[in-house]
Amino acid sequence: MATPQWRALVDHVQGVREGVYETNVPGTGYDNRTQFGRQFGEDGEPWCVMFDWDMYADVGLEHLVPKVNNVSVFTDWARTRGQWSGYPSVGAWTNLSRGGHTELVVGFDDTHVYTKGGNPVPEDATDAGQGYGVYSHRIKRRSSKVVGYFAPAFEDGCPPTADPDDHRGGTPVGSWRWPGPVLPSGDVTVTATDVVFGARNTSVRIVQAALAAEVGLDYASAPGTFGPRTRAAVAAFQRKLGLTDGDADGAFGRFSLTELGRRRGFTVVGLNSFDVPAPEAAEAEATGRTAIPASSVTFGFVVDGSTTAAAKEACRIIGVPTTRWVPGILVAAKRESSYRFNAVNSWDSNATGPKQSDGHPRNCSRGVMQVIPTTFAAYHQPGTSKGIYDGVANICAAMHYVMARYGVYRDGSNLAGRVQQFDPNRRPAGY
């Protein structure tokens, strides 16, 4: 039996990674440039409506909706075609804040409508205008913020709807919530690199069900998503196993993940991802770095440049994918230095030692990633500058450091989960 159009749509929407998609340009702010704007053809403009249209286009349903980039315009389009409703239905385009924003409906109940959209901020953040990423939200149905809903006419039937007079002929229901990815039958496997903070996939959904049985995790609001609740549940399970302190941090290790699988009937594949060499062995084998004498580090200022470009070049040199590394580096760089290549921290506890050619104590944190000279020397990337202010060299050293110190995988898939300073959904914490 074919998957209904509305279900294919919502499954696709829920599969889009949540997080920051725009670039924060120093002195200007977030720039509205995203893959969604490029797909729509108007990159650099506010993109909440573009995101709605892109999601429909991605599953071959763009012919059902107008290609416009204005909430009021699609509202008028829907009204003139009898496709406007005061009730939520799955896949509907919301008109929020009197045409100021839109998101797609991914669920509802008697009290709330659950949405996901582009160009907002996270749910617990204060929105002072246009946002910068893709996020899910819960909004009270009777909130004055909700103007109404554009309910597209799916060709194969009506989606779950709360409208007693839905123009598509459906029977109203009290609630519908996305159940998450369909779990596999038979032998169940979990991929170790898939169950990291920020991931959304079937492996996460499997461990959530296991954690629900072990420690009472309630994952109904985000099935298949490794978010704060799932991380807290992992930490609770680790404590249940007798682990303490840093070993009960909510990030799976070999023992906690395989033990959960043993108790709840799934097999873990990709266990070699846990085989991270000790820092001293990681110099050449795991990260490709080669230490240089601390005395060879230089302190000349450089011409400021693009952190994004430097991060991409660092990934190219080290030989790792940019997909997760670059967004994480940009988060940390903003927090550490506001993207300034020549930034110096001359006031914290590291600011000791004789003054160098830049006029600051030797041990100060420096550069776009605020690396101290001894760390820069120990984790130096061969072939890059020995100048600590060089953007590429500074970022390379920081990448090698977090791989060795925190066990970050080379593909960066657990970067945000392992290192809070690189996670846009958690508070700054240093690293």
3-class secondary structure per residue, 313-345: HHHHHHCCCHHHHHHHHHHHHHHHHCCCCCCEE
How far apart CA 276 and CA 285 sit, in angstroms, is 10
Tell whether the model's pLDDT for residue 277 goes beyond 70.
no
Question: What's the pTM value of the predicted model, to 2 decimals?
Answer: 0.50
Kindly state the average pLDDT of the residues 269-298: 66
Sequence-ordered list of residues with C-beta below 8 angstroms from that of 348, at least 6 positions apart, any chain: 365
Percent of the chain, pLDDT > 90? Answer: 54
Phi, then psi, of 49 in degrees rounded to 5? -70, -35
Q: Is the pLDDT of residue 221 over 80?
A: no
Cα gap 36→418, rounded to integer Å: 28
Instruction: Name the nearest CA neighbour of 102 among 42, 148, 48, 23.
Output: 48
Cβ contacts of 305 within 8 Å, gap of 6 or more:
341, 391
Q: Rounded to whole angstroms, how far apart are CA atoms 388 and 362? A: 11
Residue range 379-388: mean pLDDT, rounded: 93
Mean pLDDT of the chain: 87
Report in angstroms the alpha-carbon separations of 421 from 219, 334, 428: 25, 10, 5
Q: DSSP assignment of 143-173, as one string?
A: -TTEEEEE----TT-PPSB--TT-TT-PPP-
**pLDDT digits 0-9 by tens, 148-187:** 999 999 999 999 999 999 999 999 999 999 887 655 556 7
Residues contacting residue 91 through CB under 8 Å, at least 6 positions apart: 6, 9, 10, 104, 105, 151, 152, 154, 159
Could you tell me if 221 and 179 are in contact, meaning their C-beta atoms sit under 8 angstroms apart?
A: no
Alpha carbons 280 and 289: distance in angstroms, whole number: 11
- What is the tens place of the pLDDT at every residue in 410-427? 888 888 888 889 988 888
Tell me the C-alpha distance between 62 and 118, whole Å: 17
CA distance 142 to 29: 33
For 229-240, write each residue's pLDDT tens digit. Answer: 898 999 999 999
Neighbours of 316 (CB within 10 A): 11
Tokens of 16: 């889009």
